[in-house]
Structure 1
Amino acid sequence: MFENQQNQHLSRRRLLGLAALSGAAVAGMTTISAAPRAAAADKRSPKAGSGSFVPAVVIGTGYGAAVSALRLGEAGIPTLMLEMGQLWNKPADDGNVFCGMLKPDRRSSWFKSRTEAPLGSFLWLDVINRDIDPYAGVLDKVHFDQMSVYVGRGVGGGSLVNGGMAVVPKRSYFEEVLPRVDAAEMYDRYFPRANSMLKVNHIDKGWFEETEWYKFARVSREQAGKAGLSTTFVPNVYDFDYMRREANGESPKSALATEVIYGNNHGKQSLDKTYLAAALGTGKVTIETLHQVKAIHQQPDGSYVLSVDQIDTAGQTVAHKEIACRHLFLGAGSLGSTELLVRARDTGALPDLNAEVGAGWGPNGNIMTGRANHVWNTTGAHQSSIPALGIDDWDNPAAPVFAEIAPMPAGLETWVSLYLAITKNPERGTFVYDKATDRAALRWTRDQNTPAVNAAKSLFDRINKANTTMYRYDLFGPQLKNFSDDFCYHPLGGCVLGKATDGYGRVAGYRNLYVTDGALIPGSIGVNPFVTITALAERNIERIIAEDVKAA
């Protein structure tokens, strides 16, 4: 009975939150709240003149941030979320909130003059990317010297731009990566809670076998089988029942209309529809969009002050704010949270941060590759943009790989089988502060990806040999290249649990300062990481609220 009551409360909160998000979009507001007041912050401050004060601030609106905000709101703690991107709820002139992959426009990219899709070419021709006007778009590609990282920009963070593959890691590998975390507790309690809140669902296997939209996946499954490899269906936060209605012509198309990396107009249960909606529905949580936190410092009484730039969608700073808080939760992602702490330590703003801040970063072993099929192995002109199947060779002791069977929804037959391989790469990078740019620089070399490339090559060499096929060398730019190892979708680490923090994300050296996102996971988790980030955040915030946070 208690669980049913809890679900009813969450449903009501979610409806209230969705209404607040919809109202903010219609009005074009940057402040989103379901509370009677416009914002959670007030004019009280621990220090005169330092700006507004709120008991708790959460930086970011991605997975860990969204979990923290919901649970703080439920505990009655007035909480302010600061998001550097915009709210994606208002249709543009074409009637859509997001643009598709085949005809990207300025909505696609975060202040870029040209799109930067992971596939850079086809037949070595630059026919995929487009010139665009710089704008506060939904997908950013952050460039470092020898690695680039894709991240989402907007209310919902990476949930807006990922493929939605909701995978729980192998328990043995989870225990290896996070040995201080009680695995039984995670798998019995927090992973199920995360999956329920995220609205994870499974594809109907009968429909999968018959629909033209997953022919590409069935072809890859057959070819993997010839090499003695097994595949597994992967749950998703995209609503597969909605997808069936798309295929039947009963609902507007999204996954079946080349939408995913620049956002889905329909079908996907991104965080703005789940955790964040429920958080707003508590009446205790406010989201300020287009607010970028630039620096953190601590006052003598132990509270924190954030220096924040408010920008417009053209990237111009329209206001500078200082916001004070008692409890500060960093949920800006592996890159964002780590950069804020590295800068704070090395500029002397938070000098007691330890040497582990910035360390333990990795790209989750991400490697992309494509294979050329025989002319009789057509993959289909119609392909769903949402992956539903993976090649599972993680138990291979020599070279563990979990490979997403990725779509290539070009609207025509390509004879390409595309994959995003997740490998077990022990190499780690480190973020260091660059005073000249006032940014965190990543110390990572391409050579560090050699173990990941070798593992992916081992698997796909076997598939090519069994099927007398070959790699595609024309998909990753003008050079001859069969593996793309210079970008990642799954940045992890930088503030590793139990090293830069205690066992629950409390930052070492400082009270009431927490990391709540993928920065806690040391570089690798073996599968798409967002379910693990969500479940870990659920575990951590439960302990923090019980022991640290007092209602204002």
Structure 2
Amino acid sequence: MTALAFDHDVVIVGSGFGGSVAALRLATKGYRVHVYEAGRRFADDDFAKTSWNLRRYLWAPAIGCYGVQRIHRLPHVMILAGAGVGGGSLNYANTLYEPGPAFFADPQWAALADWDAELAPHYATAKRMLGVVARYPHDGPVERIMAGAANDLGVGDSFRRAPVGVYFGTPGETVADPFFGGDGPDRTGCTLCGNCMVGCRVGAKNTLAKNYLPLAERLGASIEPLRTVTEVRALDGGGFAVTSVRTGARMRPDRRTVTAEQVVLAAGTWGTQQLLHRMKDSGALPGISDAVGRLTRTNSEALDGAVAVSVPEGLGLARGIAITTSFHVDERTHVENVRYGPGSNLMGALASGLVPGGRPLLARLGALLGSALRHPITTLRLSSLRRWSERGIIALVMQTVDNSLTLSLKRSFGRRVLTSAQGEGEPNPSHLPGAHLAAQAIAARMQAAGGVPAAARGSWPEVFGIPMTAHFLGGAVVSGSPEQGVVDPYHRVWGHPGLHVVDGAAVPANPGVNPSLTITAMAERALSHWPRRGGADERPIQAVLADRQD
């Protein structure tokens, strides 16, 4: 079948950090590109004003919610992810760190390349495209509290201002595109409203809808929102059939199938793994490696924090962008402050008292009950959602520890759904002692700053032994052979070289920092090796790559 006999040269499933890079770079190289996105398209003023506007904030199509915040649950982790045209960039925290040496030296992929050097130019490209400001430029009480907590823990030299993807400009002032010579959309200076993770209504956040995606559309790439891909099937003569339905539709799904010479899976780790597992199970993609689901990572992550019973008027804990600073509790444990803006208090419902890990569930629940009985008034005041975002600092803790889960399919109520088991490396942690230390230090500094009682807080999922992560990665990782992983060093799926995984599912190790910049850089590298449309492909064939490992 010739290329023109297909409906599209390339179909991309998902429009997050991997899919958006693929859309722009392939459109630039002359490919006919079509992007499917399960979520909706948002204009700036379409985002929720606060997290209590569930229809615009939460993702739950079954009950009519088409917002930006997805929540998934596995036996070993609760996952926070994104939805919409622009994927996780719509509700991520704008934080764009590069990982340290441990990530590049992970044994899963270290022998395949000098990844630090290999990815360096692509990190530079990703930073330029995402408009990275090297250091958050403002100072406030949260930044001072974090610096003080780092000093109190004896790690003050590790404190730093976060590199962030935000147009600061003049607050509230709209200007012509300042990043791409006028080819991008107009931008408005950040007002420090704090609601980055609910969706930036100002137009200051450098989401993918402000850079890669509009530039790709200018070059002819088409993006179809509210379409959920349900099947990718290999065709006998080459290429793929891609079937999609209308997102959230039950009675009239509007099922459609198109053909494409090549397919890029970039539906986020959850969505990409769902498709790979199901297509392998059904026989639609029979060549997929048995390693699918292995080395699924949570960034060894925990979400704890500190909350005051009240705060003085004008203290301003909620003023700023979502993440502004960080420090290292130890060489492998990284802590960032996280904030929501005034009124966005919904996530406070997940907060609980802080309980020691390594104890049975009944002992953890007993400790919470005992504390509540001893201090009932303080417990009620700390648990209140009133002005929660203005009374607390969330501590996002990430590690470079080598731990993982293995995902597979199980049958549940007549459907095949993802489940998890402990994987390779150390057990995936249900609590992080370093997170508790950080939360306690932040609480002490907050109390000193506000002059009112403050306490370290955990989360209800953690009480029940289920950590939360906003950085779900892996399961279709870069590898030197199909026995070791799902994609080759060029992100082509072993056994189906016209199928590619270009999102967080390909990330082979815990980066220990926010992974968005790394996903973007890895995607830039993978797409840089594609030939121009109709040109010679200089990438080694997969049989040669596998032989090199043997």
Contact 1:369 1:484 in 2 (8 A): no
For residue 150 of structure 2, what is the amino acid of its counterpart?
A: A
Aligned to 2:11: 57
Indicate which of 459, 473, 489 corresponds to 1:492: 473
Is 1:286 aligned to 2:216, yes or no? no
Aligned to 2:246: 310
Between the aligned partners of 1:466 and 1:146, the Cα distance in structure 2 is 32
Query: Cα distance 1:324–1:354, how it changes in 2: closer, same or farther (>3 A)?
Result: same
For residue 125 of structure 2, what is the amino acid of its counterpart?
A: R
* TM-score (norm. length: structure 1): 0.75
Aligned to 1:443: 420
Aligned to 1:521: 507
Indicate which of 63, 80, 83 corresponds to 1:153: 83
Between the aligned partners of 2:534 and 2:516, the Cα distance in structure 1 is 25
Is 1:107 aligned to 2:56, yes or no? yes
Deviations 1:108-128 (A, max 9, x none): 111268xxxxxxxxxxxxxxx
Deviation at 1:291, TM superposition (A): 1.0
Aligned to 2:432: 453
Aligned to 1:32: none
Deviation at 1:388, TM superposition (A): 1.3
Between the aligned partners of 1:55 and 1:102, the Cα distance in structure 2 is 39
Contact 1:425 1:451 in 2 (8 A): no
Query: Cα distance 1:290–1:451, how it changes in 2: closer, same or farther (>3 A)?
Result: closer
Contact 1:408 1:416 in 2 (8 A): no
Aligned to 1:233: 161
Aligned to 1:199: 131
Is 1:349 aligned to 2:284, yes or no? yes
Between the aligned partners of 2:409 and 2:51, the Cα distance in structure 1 is 38
Is 1:272 aligned to 2:209, yes or no? yes
Between the aligned partners of 2:207 and 2:251, the Cα distance in structure 1 is 28
Contact 1:496 1:521 in 2 (8 A): yes
SS in 2 for 1:345: helix
Deviation at 1:59, TM superposition (A): 0.7
For residue 211 of structure 2, what is the amino acid of its counterpart?
A: T
For residue 394 of structure 2, what is the amino acid of its counterpart?
A: L
Aligned to 1:37: none
Aligned to 2:409: 433
For residue 285 of structure 2, what is the amino acid of its counterpart?
A: L
Is 1:327 aligned to 2:262, yes or no? yes
Any gaps of 5 or more consecutive residues in structure 1? 1-41, 47-52, 114-132
Aligned to 1:366: 301
Higher mean C-alpha displacement, 482-491 vs 73-82: 482-491
Contact 1:298 1:350 in 2 (8 A): yes
Between the aligned partners of 1:162 and 1:189, the Cα distance in structure 2 is 24
Between the aligned partners of 2:434 and 2:458, the Cα distance in structure 1 is 20
Between the aligned partners of 1:270 and 1:483, the Cα distance in structure 2 is 34
Higher mean C-alpha displacement, 296-305 vs 157-166: 296-305
Query: Cα distance 1:524–1:417, how it changes in 2: closer, same or farther (>3 A)?
Result: same
For residue 162 of structure 1, what is the amino acid of its counterpart?
A: Y
Contact 2:444 2:454 in 1 (8 A): no
SS in 2 for 1:162: coil
Deviation at 1:228, TM superposition (A): 1.5
Deviation at 1:104, TM superposition (A): 2.1
Is 1:476 aligned to 2:406, yes or no? no
Deviation at 1:143, TM superposition (A): 2.0
Deviation at 1:165, TM superposition (A): 0.3
SS in 1 for 2:123: helix
Is 1:138 aligned to 2:73, yes or no? no
SS in 2 for 1:159: helix
Aligned to 1:538: 524
Aligned to 1:24: none
Between the aligned partners of 2:441 and 2:96, the Cα distance in structure 1 is 27
Between the aligned partners of 2:133 and 2:142, the Cα distance in structure 1 is 21
Higher mean C-alpha displacement, 539-548 vs 224-233: 539-548
Aligned to 2:351: none
Contact 1:60 1:332 in 2 (8 A): yes
Any gaps of 5 or more consecutive residues in structure 2? 175-186, 344-386, 480-484, 538-550
Query: Cα distance 1:419–1:202, how it changes in 2: closer, same or farther (>3 A)?
Result: same
Deviation at 1:491, TM superposition (A): 0.6
SS in 2 for 1:99: coil
Between the aligned partners of 2:446 and 2:3, the Cα distance in structure 1 is 68
Deviation at 1:350, TM superposition (A): 1.5
Deviations 1:246-267 (A, max 9, x none): 9xxxx98976334222211121
Is 1:511 aligned to 2:502, yes or no? no
Deviations 1:422-465 (A, max 9, x none): 12332211221234554441314699443751342355566678
Contact 2:473 2:507 in 1 (8 A): yes
SS in 2 for 1:323: strand
Between the aligned partners of 1:182 and 1:243, the Cα distance in structure 2 is 42
Contact 1:373 1:415 in 2 (8 A): yes
Contact 1:354 1:508 in 2 (8 A): yes
1:416-427 paired onto structure 2 within 5 Å: 416-427=392-403
Deviations 1:132-168 (A, max 9, x none): x622222211122342211211110000000110111
